[in-house]
């Protein structure tokens, strides 16, 4: 062995010993990133996870897969991510419900804590809820609907939602309190059943995710009286916001990404940047708007603030509703 060969071998050995941390920082900790979704394929959260995940794969130069783990309204997925390795290899895509609603509506039953068991990664999108009515209802405005309910509350004071304990359910509670109405909630088993009930005039009013009722409204099979966002829905620009009508009602549900608590800050930063790059991409932005959700793009700190505020706000609403879960 020549002196030059020996020196070269020694330098390679030193590099192997001294620089593994640098190599690890430049490459993903694991070859695959999993995004867990607590809802079935085709749900909005699933579609959003796949769109964002595909973009993140290109940014991270890493394989990204979406795994659907439906059940218990999304709670099963939360439990799985809570128990996953905190190494940047697993993310949870979830709407506000599992983090801001269920800790109150299922108090004492949850096997996770939204603040202790998860690390915020990225706030991806907002979506809207609103009040829809059947075409048989004579009211064409919120004021007319309120007057119609008050004229015969025993007959007219019912509203439906796609599920008990959901955002639309509790938004209906908020609306009733604000409008001075005694409304009775009628839960359905899913969005399809609720929409069919409204279109078939089985129920006269529905508190609903706006994206879900759009098709019925555009086909003149239901009317949307108002939406609860800060601004009007771009697909239904003639429908006012509650605030425009003088009702102090703003409810902005959201979708976000979380990681298991204890995930290293460097990994969280890397994942957050990739997720935010996805929702600010013009093509993906356009696709999200078409889906009925509004891209946001807030980082971990802002997501943490939003979660805390919504957790407190919805907690008061749920307590006032007297809701008790059936399960």
pLDDT of residue 194: 93
Tell me which of 1.10.10.60, 3.10.580.10, 3.40.720.10, 3.40.190.10 is the CATH number of domain 129-227.
Answer: 3.40.190.10
Residues 120 and 276: their CA atoms lie apart, in Å, by 13
Residues 131 and 254: their CA atoms lie apart, in Å, by 18
Closest CA to 130 of 11, 258, 244, 8: 244
Q: Which residues pair with 255 in a beta bridge?
A: 95, 125
66, 73, 175, 310 from 119: Cα distances, Å: 19, 21, 32, 16
Position 133 pLDDT exceeds 80: yes
Place of tokens 């759009």: 214
- Cα dihedral 226, 228, 230, 233, rounded to 10, equals -50
Place of tokens 């979830």: 94
214, with CB counted inside 10 A (0-12, 13-18, 19+), is middle
Quote the longest CA-to-CA distance of the chain.
Answer: 101
Topology alike, domains 18-127+253-321 and 129-227: yes
Q: Which two tokens stand for residue 308?
A: 């805390």
- Cα dihedral 132, 137, 138, 140, rounded to 10, equals 10
Position 102 pLDDT exceeds 60: yes
The CATH topology of domain 18-127+253-321 is: D-Maltodextrin-Binding Protein; domain 2 (3.40.190)
CA of residue 306 relative to chain centroid, distance: 12
> Considering the entire predicted model, what is its pTM?
0.83
Mean pLDDT of the chain: 90
* Residue ranges with strand state E in the chain: 32-37, 63-68, 90-95, 118-127, 129-133, 158-161, 184-187, 205-209, 223-227, 254-260, 293-298
When mean pLDDT is compared across 9-13, 202-206, 230-234, 320-324, the lowest value belongs to 9-13
pLDDT of residue 30: 63
- Mean pLDDT, range 161-190, rounded to an integer: 92
Domain boundaries, the chain: 18-127+253-321, 129-227
Position 87 pLDDT exceeds 60: yes
Query: What percent of the chain stands above pLDDT 70?
Result: 90
């Amino acid at each position: 062995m020549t002196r030059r060969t020996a020196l070269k071998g020694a330098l390679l050995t030193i590099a192997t010993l001294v620089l593994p941390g640098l190599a690890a920082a430049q490459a993903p900790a694991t070859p695959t990133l999993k995004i867990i979704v607590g809802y079935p394929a085709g749900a909005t959260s699933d579609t959003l996870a796949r769109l964002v995940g595909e973009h993140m794969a290109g940014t991270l130069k890493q394989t990204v897969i979406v795994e659907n783990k439906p059940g218990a309204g999304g709670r099963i997925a939360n439990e799985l991510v809570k128990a996953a390795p905190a190494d940047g290899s697993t993310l949870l895509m979830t709407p506000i419900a599992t983090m801001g609603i269920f800790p109150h509506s299922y108090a004492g039953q949850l096997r996770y804590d939204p603040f202790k068991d998860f690390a915020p990664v990225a706030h991806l999108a907002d979506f809207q809820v609103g009040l829809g009515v059947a075409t048989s209802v004579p009211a064409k405005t919120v004021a007319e609907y309120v007057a119609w309910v008050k004229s015969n509350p025993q007959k007219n004071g019912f509203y439906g939602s796609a599920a008990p304990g959901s955002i639309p359910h509790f938004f209906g509670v908020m609306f009733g309190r604000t409008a001075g109405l005694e409304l009775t909630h009628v839960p359905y088993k899913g969005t399809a059943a609720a929409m069919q009930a409204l279109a078939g005039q089985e129920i006269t009013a529905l508190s609903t995710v706006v994206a879900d009722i759009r098709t019925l409204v555009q086909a003149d099979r239901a009317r949307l009286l108002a939406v609860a966002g800060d601004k009007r829905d771009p697909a239904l620009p003639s429908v006012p916001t509650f605030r425009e009508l003088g009702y102090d009602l703003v409810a902005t549900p959201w979708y976000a990404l979380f990681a298991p608590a204890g995930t290293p800050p460097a990994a969280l930063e890397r994942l957050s940047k990739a997720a935010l790059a996805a929702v600010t991409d013009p093509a993906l932005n356009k696709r999200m708007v078409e889906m009925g959700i509004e891209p946001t793009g807030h980082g971990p700190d802002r997501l943490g603030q939003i979660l805390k505020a919504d957790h407190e706000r919805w907690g008061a609403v749920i307590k006032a509703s007297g809701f008790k879960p059936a399960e």
